[in-house]
Structure 1
Amino acid sequence: MRGSFVVVIAAAAGLAGVAAGQLEQPDAQEPPEATVDLTGDRLVDLSHAFNRRTIYWPTAQQFRLTEVADGETEGGWHYAANNFRAAEHGGTHLDAPIHFARNGDTADEIPLRKLAGPAVNVDVRAKADADRDYLVTVADLEAFEAEHGRIATNTVVLLRTGWARHWPDARRYMGTADRGADAVPNLHFPGLSEQAARWLVEQRRVKAVGIDTASIDRGQSTAFEAHRVLAAAQVPVFENVANLDRLPAEGFHVIALPMKIEGGSGGPLRALAFVGD
């Protein structure tokens, strides 16, 4: 029998809502068996650490940490503090719907329930290894369902291309380590096709989509079709997700809480998975 710390995933999101000043009613379509055992589940960190090697888009400001203080004070105690600066989009981060939809939710407006819930881990490594510009297709998602069952409404869908193994080598991860606008045409990494994005939105009504690459659209995309489809449906996106190799295909839960930037188009993301027996 599970202990007293077993909670419904909605309750976990609700606790975060209290801290953020938001309280949301349970989603009637949330699977009733979607529970998290805080005493027994294995926790998997899905975020890369932010440091000087964190990968950002070639035109985005990179992460910088500047020391303010680190040492003993005149009063005899230790004190450390830093300043940091960075673009919203880089490292493990959120793409809020406003990023590609005029009336989309900003980072602080996304309902917490869209950032927490049961999840699946769709493995497309073999195809991505064969084609660094691979686009995840509807057929890939249907093949996953043929083996693991239908993707339920309000599921967080994670796409495992295997690209996280290249982190933080920007040349291998992005296709180029160059910076600036001239580097953008040289980007190469897998992404989600427009058709598959539309299928996830219209046929499965997923709550969020994550991927272990620098963008939900592949590196060679110039129209950002998957971004636009998901943003128009108010579906948040998690990019540069880490450690998908430590997750099963199904039967786990994700909580992905971004920095609450008012009016933000995204922001740094601390995501974790709860993996039961």
Structure 2
Amino acid sequence: MSRTTASIPVLALALVGVGTFVAVRAQAPERAPGPLKDLAAKAIDLTYAFDKDTIYWPTDKSFQWDRTTWGPSKGGYWYASATFAASEHGGTHLDSPIHFGEGQATADQIPLTKLIGPAVVVDVQKACARDRDYQLRTDDLEAWERAHGRIPDGAIVVMRSGWGRFWPDPKAYLGSDAPGDTAHLHFPGVSRAAAEWLVAHRRVAGVGVDTASLDPGPSRDFMAHRVLNGAGIYGLENVANLNQVPESGATLIALPMKIRGGSGGPTRIIAILP
């Protein structure tokens, strides 16, 4: 019996669309199967790396990562391992509905069907350049619909403020770099009216922002959080690279760390371009 694996007709599964798989012939490791290669070419990473510079809410603990073992082992082979600790709400992350919605879903309870959906990117960069505390308005959502059609059911609506250009400078991004200072925060967010409009008139799965919070920096009552989370809608915060995603046509996939009972957690977000 020949040991040449190239002669064996091995089949592999390749993802060709969200939730769709086909069988393709396995290829050499350095060459991804055609459908998978095509999918990867359309993928945009919307996640900031977690490290010592990751921005967290001023009152939360920052990201900690420590090497426990890193180097050649006694057995002569390489071995690397580390520990990490972090608050749930920092860096690119998801706010579970329970974050501001009593009795709503925790991080582990959000179904996958709600974590994958059409991306609705609402561009308000010009308005945010004029006003650091700009709030996404109902008018902005209606303008998006005039240009692209009705917001689809199950959509993930994301505000594009252009704030990613300030990452990871906490003073520029948040408005203050003083630990514990929540009194001098200035960045765009979602207005109460826009949040209520989405809840009352559309059936969205999630709402995201490329800033530190769904609510604008000066907010003290966090009404966008309360309205959206209270209706079972999760939030995505500190979403990266939105300048690479079109306003309509992409698919968003947001997979949070599955923390049982969690009010949120670090999340890998990707967009699949049309």
In structure 2, the partner of 1:267 is 265
Residues 226-265 of structure 1 mapped to structure 2, 5 A cutoff: 226-265=224-263
Structure 1 residues 138-185: Cα deviation after superposition (integer angstroms, max 9, x where no partner): 0011111111221111111111000011000000000011101xx101
Structure 1 unpaired stretches of 5+: 13-36
Report how many residues are paired. Answer: 247
Give 1:263's aligned amino acid.
G
Deviates more, 1:113-122 or 1:184-193: 113-122
> Segments of 4+ in structure 1 off by > 3 A?
none
RMSD of Structure 2 on Structure 1 (CA): 1.5
Deviates more, 1:142-151 or 1:90-99: 142-151
Give 2:249's aligned amino acid.
G
In structure 1, the partner of 2:202 is 204
Secondary structure of the 1:157 match is strand
Secondary structure of the 2:90 match is coil
Residues 127-276 of structure 1 mapped to structure 2, 5 A cutoff: 127-180=127-180, 183-276=181-274
Give 1:6's aligned amino acid.
V
Give the deviation of 1:112 after TM superposition.
1.4
Structure 1 residues 107-155: Cα deviation after superposition (integer angstroms, max 9, x where no partner): 1111111111111111000001100000000001111111122111111
Q: Distance in 1 between matches of 2:36 and 2:189?
A: 33
Deviates more, 1:198-207 or 1:245-254: 198-207
Secondary structure of the 1:59 match is coil
Give 2:125's aligned amino acid.
R
Q: Distance in 1 between matches of 2:153 and 2:261?
A: 28
In structure 2, the partner of 1:52 is 52
Q: Distance in 2 between matches of 1:5 and 1:195?
A: 39
Give the deviation of 1:40 after TM superposition.
2.1
Give the deviation of 1:6 after TM superposition.
2.8
TM-score normalised by L of structure 1: 0.86
In structure 2, the partner of 1:22 is none
In structure 1, the partner of 2:26 is none
Structure 2 unpaired stretches of 5+: 1-13, 22-34
Q: Distance in 2 between matches of 1:93 and 1:116?
A: 15
Secondary structure of the 2:265 match is strand
TM-score normalised by L of structure 2: 0.87
Give 1:119's aligned amino acid.
A
Secondary structure of the 2:153 match is coil
Q: Distance in 2 between matches of 1:208 and 1:52?
A: 28
